[in-house]
Structure 1
Amino acid sequence: MTVTRPSPDGSGPQPPARTAHPATQRWGDLDVVPTGPRVQVSARIARRLFTAAVNRLAVTVVITEADGRRTTLGKGGPVATVSRAEEFFARLGRDQLIGFGEAYLVGAWDAEDLGGFLTVLAEQMSDLVPRPLQRLRAVVAKRPPRAQVSSKKNSRDNIAHHYDLSNDLFELFLDESMSYSSALFDTDRLDRGDHHSATPPGAPTAEELHPAQVRKIERLLDATGVGEGSRVLEIGSGWGELAMRAAQRGADVLTITLSTEQQALARERIAAAGMSERARVELCDYRAVTGEFDAVVSVEMIEAVGHQYWTTYFQTIDKVLAPGGKVGIQAITMPHDRMLATRNTWTWIHKYIFPGGFLPSVDVIDEVTREQTSLRLTDRLSFGSHYAETLRLWDEAFLGDSEAVLALGFDDTFLRMWHFYLEYSRAGFASGYLDVNQVVLTRPEEQA
């Protein structure tokens, strides 16, 4: 993908005139290349570390210097090209992984098979930096800004940053259920596939995405016993699909969100399905929920809670869960040791995509609920490879509708950002560094 940028003096190629979306105002000083003595030193260190790391990996990186000299690194595999080496290493040296992502946004490097290239890196994530230097993480890594901690005060803005971008944008690449979470495909071949490939052999097709999204929702409703007369709380409405399907089972549903865009479209979809009397969509922080519910369900919302509030999150669920009730949570998870190592690190994903978010481990879900609530983890399904394919299908649809994205007022940098986000995420699941789980929490002594 090519980013069209005018030259500094205003000459050269100009992007077509469009109504700018507010999201395009986020770039700040992204076009300013880091300079100065400290940057020069950090850039040299970054170059040495990057060269050593890439030369151990099954990738190919072609670096073009300002004078035209080319250097090829790596052991062969997915190819990345660094076209502006000085800028690339300046950004990498000053801002580490944030700089790596920003260098992609501005076109200092590129990769035809971006997901494949990033997957190889993700497989070696814990060893890309020599272990002795990893002890300096606390000194070098930036901490999350206080304004992005997912407190009651900040959460609305954090959610709006991503989910209030545009319902029209999400409709371009999601399936008809408007499900923005991992699908559950009806196959075990994903666990045996080659996720380094842009399109693995036998991979699910776009036509299979909608049934797989429905399967994911229905499984969670089955696992929590949702049926006729069930009182259901959904934390994180999305665009209303789970609430509608629970209501179609005869349940009475309260679904809550902090996104005004999601609330509006969810209400519209629920009304169109004739379910408004059974499913209410309210703007509400999970900490403010009252009442009693037979089932509490939440699909990929815990990632926005922040590690500082996991205890509050689970205690709130424990408080509103009726005797004999069940909790079903679909959560993106990471290994426990990596969670502990990175919980105070500000990342590219935080800066550009999900401010205030943080991924739990399955271990910490078990630990917090055991120590702080009466809930116990009683069932778990892991299907991370399915998320890799979900993200691939989303990215293909997004890139296929890039002109429509631009017509909504987003710019070329946004296109690169979203493509990087989707492929960066896919790499996490394809490599096994990330996983997605459906977990069920109950009070075992109350179950018949």
Structure 2
Amino acid sequence: MTASMEKKGSKQSNSSLSGFAAVVSGLLERLPYGKLTLYQPDGEKLVYGREHSVHGKEHPRGRYVEAQIKVLDNNFFSRVVMFGHIGFAESFMDGEWQTDDVASVVAWFLLNLSDNPLLEGTGNKSILVNALGALNQLLHLFKFNNKDNSRKNISYHYDLSNDLFELFLDETMTYSSARFSDDWLLSLKDAQISKYEALCRKLKLKEGDSLLEIGCGWGGFAQYAVSKYRIKYTGITISKEQLAYAEKAFEKLPELSGLFEFKLIDYRDMKRAMKPEGYDKIVSIEMIEAVGDEYYDAYFAKIDELLAEDGLAAIQMITCPDNRYDLIRKNTDFIQKHIFPGSLLPCLHRISKATSLTRLSLFEVEDLGNSYAKTLFTWQERFEAQLKRVGELGFDQVFVRKWRYYLSYCAAAFAMRNISVVQAVYSRPNNLNLCHSSFLERFAAPKNFESIGEVII
């Protein structure tokens, strides 16, 4: 397949391209699905892919992925060749290319994932691309999540500015996937509350329960659970900004005094001796992405240690496909370099391996992938509507484009189901709180041994 090429309405040969531009064009020609239109700085238009083809099948217009890129600076081509998909993103950050919809561009590349020469581990990986990518990988290796690095990694993102996050999050200040499963038309706030209630329901939360939240964020779940269920709540974080915000929010709720506490502490420093009977319930909402492969075992071992014998633990986590986990683990992407240093998306197989070293057993799983795509698109709309205020907070245009790319990049990945998010509930065998009441009644009913009769073997 070759790209069609136009300049002022006339067809031209692909041979008119030279240098890095020719390399990039040759690589894009390998991607067969959907349609990408690329405009060069001199006005030439190149079209890649087959418009109506997805996985070898013809689709009506509107059912395939179509995207366009307008290159403003030829430096774009060299950055893509030198640094692959990270160079592609950084070129956007620096204003070297633009598009009417970043998410559609990302979706087009994801649609062609198995043939994508810009990514590691694909069938068409090119030795010409990402020649200097080892530099990004080396930087990422230095951000592994020991206790000191974890604080730095979390602070890099979550301590940017509480005022910034208030611009695009809803009133609950919840920075994790909402839950639109029951009603796609819910407001963002109501969908976040739906997520909170789903977790409380899965935890079988009741008044008087002790609950530990690992990674309490700005305290949104804490406010909901304590207010509605009157539980005894403990939240831990390593973000000073989030801790201060959560504590201040609860100062406005004197009726909840004595029912909550927040601690600035790493989860690894929590000890059973702090609460000898253990916590009745443990929840962790999209914190595991900051744990890292080398600490998954320790993370679940700590949950096992802190959870009461008949307790329940609910973990909301972003996941990647099992068959791509090792590739993702061994490489570095835009999110890890520019948004969440030290982060890694687990796969369910790796999580199962970690929990197999504990007494924890998986009890329930719910997928919320589509809900996260909608959450991210909503965040982006709210962010874009507040650009003037973003500037007033001191963030420049490079930052704006970086976040535009970040939100779009993630939204497309969830929408195309290349990654997902799940709520997983864990307990231990013989937890009678999980038995249906009819079974308990049967097991506990008085037995008339005289009526059993003679047992014939």
Shift, 1:44, TM fit: 5.1
2:70 aligned residue: 82
| Alignment equivalent of 1:221, drawn from 180, 194, 200 | 200
- The one-letter amino acid of 1:48's match is G
Q: Which has the larger radius of gyration?
A: 2
Q: Distance in 2 between matches of 1:137 and 1:373?
A: 42
In the superposition, relative to structure 1, how do residues 435 and 63 fare at CA in structure 2: closer, same or farther (>3 Å)? same
| Alignment equivalent of 2:47, drawn from 50, 56, 72 | 72
In the superposition, relative to structure 1, how do residues 324 and 168 fare at CA in structure 2: closer, same or farther (>3 Å)? same
1:239 aligned residue: 218
- The one-letter amino acid of 1:118's match is V
Shift, 1:236, TM fit: 0.6
Q: Distance in 2 between matches of 1:136 and 1:89?
A: 12
* More contact order relative to length (CA 8 Å, sep ≥ 6): 1
Shift, 1:125, TM fit: 2.2
Q: Contact 1:80–1:109 at 8 Å: present in 2 too?
A: no
Shift, 1:68, TM fit: 4.5
2:345 aligned residue: 359
Q: Distance in 2 between matches of 1:141 and 1:100?
A: 12
| Alignment equivalent of 1:50, drawn from 4, 8, 28 | 28
- Please list, as runs of the form range in 1=range in 2, the aligned pairs for 1:95-134 lying within 5 A after superposition: 95-129=83-117, 131=123, 133=125
Shift, 1:79, TM fit: 3.1
Q: Distance in 1 between matches of 2:392 and 2:50?
A: 41
| Alignment equivalent of 2:236, drawn from 235, 256, 268 | 256
- Equivalent residue of 1:154, what SS? helix
What per-residue deviation string (whole Å, max 9, x for no partner) do you get for residues 334-389 of structure 1?
1011112110211111111000000011222122101x111011100001001111
- Aligned length, in residue pairs: 389
Q: Distance in 2 between matches of 1:422 and 1:133?
A: 26
2:445 aligned residue: none
Q: Percent identity?
A: 36
In the superposition, relative to structure 1, how do residues 364 and 42 fare at CA in structure 2: closer, same or farther (>3 Å)? farther
Q: Contact 2:82–2:131 at 8 Å: present in 1 too?
A: no
Q: Distance in 2 between matches of 1:392 and 1:144?
A: 32
Shift, 1:185, TM fit: 1.5
| Alignment equivalent of 2:170, drawn from 175, 179, 188 | 175
- The one-letter amino acid of 1:126's match is S
Are 1:154 and 2:149 counterparts? yes
- The one-letter amino acid of 1:133's match is K
Shift, 1:414, TM fit: 0.8
1:166 aligned residue: 161
| Alignment equivalent of 1:278, drawn from 253, 259, 262 | 259
What per-residue deviation string (whole Å, max 9, x for no partner) do you get for residues 19-77 of structure 1?
xxxxxxxxxxxxxxxxxxxxx97775444213332xx1313322314x55443334445
Q: Contact 2:116–2:125 at 8 Å: present in 1 too?
A: no
Normalised by the size of structure 2, how large is the TM-score? 0.80
- The one-letter amino acid of 2:46's match is T
- Please list, as runs of the form range in 1=range in 2, the aligned pairs for 1:383-398 lying within 5 A after superposition: 383-398=368-383
- Please list, as runs of the form range in 1=range in 2, the aligned pairs for 1:179-218 lying within 5 A after superposition: 179-187=174-182, 204=185, 208-218=187-197
2:11 aligned residue: none
Q: Distance in 1 between matches of 2:72 and 2:131?
A: 28
1:61 aligned residue: 37
Are 1:329 and 2:304 counterparts? no
Shift, 1:124, TM fit: 2.7
Are 1:269 and 2:249 counterparts? yes
Q: Distance in 2 between matches of 1:447 and 1:46?
A: 60
- The one-letter amino acid of 2:174's match is S
In the superposition, relative to structure 1, how do residues 330 and 134 fare at CA in structure 2: closer, same or farther (>3 Å)? farther
Could you tell me which runs of 5 or more consecutive residues in structure 2 were left unpaired when the two chains were aligned.
Answer: 1-17, 52-64, 434-457
- The one-letter amino acid of 1:58's match is G
Q: Contact 2:83–2:130 at 8 Å: present in 1 too?
A: no
Q: Contact 1:43–1:94 at 8 Å: present in 2 too?
A: no
Normalised by the size of structure 1, how large is the TM-score? 0.82
Q: Distance in 2 between matches of 1:259 and 1:238?
A: 8
Q: Distance in 2 between matches of 1:296 and 1:60?
A: 46
In the superposition, relative to structure 1, how do residues 282 and 41 fare at CA in structure 2: closer, same or farther (>3 Å)? farther
The CA RMSD over aligned residues, in Å, is 2.2
In the superposition, relative to structure 1, how do residues 42 and 399 fare at CA in structure 2: closer, same or farther (>3 Å)? same
Could you tell me which runs of 5 or more consecutive residues in structure 1 were left unpaired when the two chains were aligned.
Answer: 1-39, 191-203
